[in-house]
Each structure stands twice: as C-alpha cells, then as structure tokens.
C-alpha cells in the first residue's frame, strides 16, 4: 500500500530541549494504528506536528505525496483532523457544536447528516438541543469526535480520547473508530495508555524519550 503520510528525520525542539529525535515513519492509507509510550515521551507532540498544530524543527513530512509546507494549514487540518483528550465544547448546546464545521465552510448545517452521525454514535436527535453543560464525560467526548468527522477527513489523530471514560464509552468509541476505518477508510492513529486498547491494537508503535519504536 502507498504511504499516505511519510515522516523523515523529524526533529522537534523547544527552548533547546529536544522533544523528538529523528522520527522516521510511514503511515499506509487506511491504517489503524495505536501509539503508546510513557508520559512526556513525545506522543502528543508527534501527533500535533502531523496535524499542523505545531511545526517541526527539522525533517520532512509529506501527506498524499506533497510536503506539508505546500498545503494551506487550514485546508490541511480538514484532511488530517486532530481530536483532543479533554475537549472543550463550543457555545451553549450540542447543536452549536454540530453547526461549527458547517459554519467554517460557509454552509448551513445538514440536519439529516448530523442526526445520522449522532445516532451512529449512540446519541439521538434530542441531544441536539441539550446544553453542553448537562452532558456526561462520555457524551462530551462523543459530541467532540462527531465534530471532527461531519466532513470526513482522510486521517483522524486521536490523543487519548478514551482516557478517564468508563468501559461502556470506551467500547462505543472503539467500535465507532473501527467502523470509520473499515467502512469509510479513514486512517486512524490513536494514542493510548489503556492496556486493553494496547492488547487489541492492529499495529502498535511506541514513542519513548522522543524516539519511535515499532513494536510487534
């Protein structure tokens, strides 16, 4: 399979502190990868570089055959979408959050599509009018994740999105991610510390002290 993303000799340093060392990594189209490693090892930094949220100090990063520098960062982030560990929801209601991806594309919200997305993820039309402050942790995370996929990206980068959630929510999110990967062919890269998730990984990589180690 062709590599969708290629990282060559990626280094990242901040204030003279080297966070990532010479990362070489090829991510095939449609991959479902689990990333693990000790806290502070550089996993999040690596994903944030891949999401164009921060810029590498040196090295080459290509996406779909083109260097990352050749893309407009905003258009790039719509293709390589980053999901946060403890997401902030916008505005007052769930509907405000669902409307945001449309708003930034100067479109009006496709209600049918949003309701389908909510239902596919164990939520319902009624959720739309719910205040964001009334949601449980698992619901918040699901609402946040739906924001990322209302317009399907090619790559979904997930930074410990199940951390702190109960088993039911973890299961729901895993099943949902697998469907996205298998049916919609979204390449998914997920950071986790969870032993069950690590054990269930198709492909596992470790980031230790700023270096990438391919496990299994």
Residue 24 to residue 130: CA distance in whole angstroms: 44
Name which of 132 and 204 has its Cβ closer to another protein: 132
Measured from the CB atom, the residue of 99 and 204 that comes closer to another protein is 99
Question: Phi/psi class of residue 15: alpha, beta or left (left: φ > 0; alpha: ψ in -120 to 50)?
Answer: left
State the nearest-atom distance from the C-beta of 72 to another protein, in Å.
8
84/64 Cα distance (integer angstroms)? 24
Residue with smaller CB distance to another protein, 148 or 201:
148
> Which is nearer to another protein, 141 or 204 (by Cβ)?
141
Q: Is 106 left (phi over 0), alpha (psi -120 to 50) or beta?
A: left
Sequence length of the chain is 216
| Residue among 151 and 211 whose Cβ is closer to another protein | 151
Q: Least Å distance between CB 83 and another protein?
A: 8
Of residues 51 and 204, the one with the C-beta less far from another protein: 51
Spatial distance between the Cα atoms of 97 and 146, rounded to a whole number of angstroms = 9
Chain mean position to CA 200: 18
| Residue 183 beta carbon to another protein: minimum distance, rounded to whole angstroms | 22
- Residues at the interface with another protein (CB under 8 A): 51-55, 72-75, 77-78, 81-84, 87-88, 90, 100-101, 103-104, 144, 147-148
CB 164 to another protein: min, Å: 16
Distance of closest approach, residue 74 Cβ to another protein, in angstroms: 6
Least Å distance, CB 188 to another protein, is: 15
Pairing, β 32-36 against β 66-67 = unpaired
Asked whether 211 and 21 are in contact (CB, 8 A), the reply is yes
Nearest CA-CA partner of 123 in 141, 107, 148? 141
List Cβ neighbours of 118 (8 Å cut-off, separation of 6 or more): 98, 124, 125, 127, 128, 146
């Amino acid at each position: 399979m062709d590599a969708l993303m290629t990282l060559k000799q990626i280094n990242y340093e901040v204030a003279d502190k080297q966070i990532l060392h010479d990362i070489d990594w090829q991510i095939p189209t449609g991959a479902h990868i689990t990333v693990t490693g000790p806290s502070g090892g550089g996993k999040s930094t690596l994903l944030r570089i891949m999401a164009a949220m921060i810029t590498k100090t040196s090295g080459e990063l290509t996406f779909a055959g083109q260097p990352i520098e050749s893309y407009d960062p905003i258009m790039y982030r719509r293709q390589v979408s980053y999901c946060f560990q403890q997401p902030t929801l916008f505005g007052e209601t769930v509907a405000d959050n669902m409307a945001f991806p449309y708003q930034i594309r100067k479109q009006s919200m496709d209600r049918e599509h949003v309701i389908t997305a909510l239902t596919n993820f164990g939520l319902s039309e009624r959720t739309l009018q719910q205040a964001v402050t009334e949601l449980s942790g698992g619901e918040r995370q699901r609402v946040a994740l739906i924001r990322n996929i209302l317009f399907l990206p090619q790559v979904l980068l997930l930074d410990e999105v199940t951390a702190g959630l109960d088993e039911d929510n973890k299961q729901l999110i895993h099943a949902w991610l697998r469907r996205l990967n298998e049916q919609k062919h979204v390449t998914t890269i997920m950071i986790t510390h969870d032993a069950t998730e690590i054990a269930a990984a198709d492909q596992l990589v470790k980031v230790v002290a700023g270096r990438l180690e391919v496990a299994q």
